[in-house]
Amino acid sequence: MSAIAKRRERERAQRHQLIITAARELAEAEGWEAVTTRKLAERVEYSQPVLYSHFNGKDAILRAVALEGFGELAARLRRARLATPEPPQALHAVCRAYLEFAAEQPALYQAMFVLPTDVKFAHAETPPPLRAAFDEFVNCFRSDNSRRELFAEVTWSALHGMAVLSDSGRIPPNGQTERLDFLVTQIAGTPSGPATL
């Protein structure tokens, strides 16, 4: 490959990333419904067809943003877990990190977990970063716990529900901390008889 071709490929890769970043910023600023191919094209200072030479369509751009998010989320959860000296509190730290991620970048979170997608979850073709993020939850439970995966699924589901209901204004965003504390307490402890019912 000639040096010129290499430079072109480099520039192309840069532009590829530029599109992803622009879409993400625009979505974060005005919401996904405001991300149109025209606005996006203007933002990257190219015409619309250029977008289609990089991605198969708007959905593919969204998918690329989501994939980027999976990597960042996995890293963040991992950091939260490893930064916790006492393992019993790791779950709490990871859950808090998850909710912070969702609250700080709601549009990114939507692309990852709310908007329709063809990304495979819990499947052979699952993107490694996504699997890695999920595993951070799994690893909060003792390795001799044969139902770790189940625990992780329920924990994740609960957090997702809190994140998404809060973001869409369906539960007041204030109580998140109390809800988180309660959730972790219940998930972590072994239940002993119904006293709250």
Partner DNA sequence: CATGATGTCTAGCATTGCTATGATGTCGCT
Partner DNA sequence: AGCGACATCATAGCAATGCTAGACATCATG
User: For residues 115-154, which are near its own copies according to CB under 8 A?
Assistant: 116-117, 121-122, 140-142, 145, 147, 150-151, 153-154
Q: How far is the CB of 127 from DNA (least distance, A)?
A: 21
Tell which one of 113, 133, 136, 138 touches its own copies (CB under 8 A).
113
Task: Locate all alpha helices (DSSP H) within 105-175, ordered by sequence.
Answer: 106-113, 128-138, 148-167
Pick 49 or 193: Cβ nearer its own copies? 193
- Least Å distance, CB 75 to its own copies, is 20
Residue 65 near residue 153, CB atoms below 8 Å: no
Residue 35, sorted as left (phi over 0), alpha (psi -120 to 50) or beta, turns out to be: beta
- By the 8 A CB rule, do 158 and 95 touch? no
Compare residues 59 and 181 and give the one whose CB is closer to DNA: 59
- Burial of 94: CB neighbours in 10 Å, binned 0-12, 13-18, 19+: buried
Of the candidates 36, 145, 185, 186, which one interacts with DNA according to CB under 7 A? 36
DSSP 55: S
d(CA 101, CA 105): 6
Segment contacting its own copies (CB under 8 A): 18-26, 37-45, 65-73, 167-175? 167-175
Smallest gap, in angstroms, from Cβ of residue 40 to its own copies? 20
List residues binding DNA (CB under 7 A). 2, 4-5, 8, 12, 35-39, 46-50, 52-53, 57-59
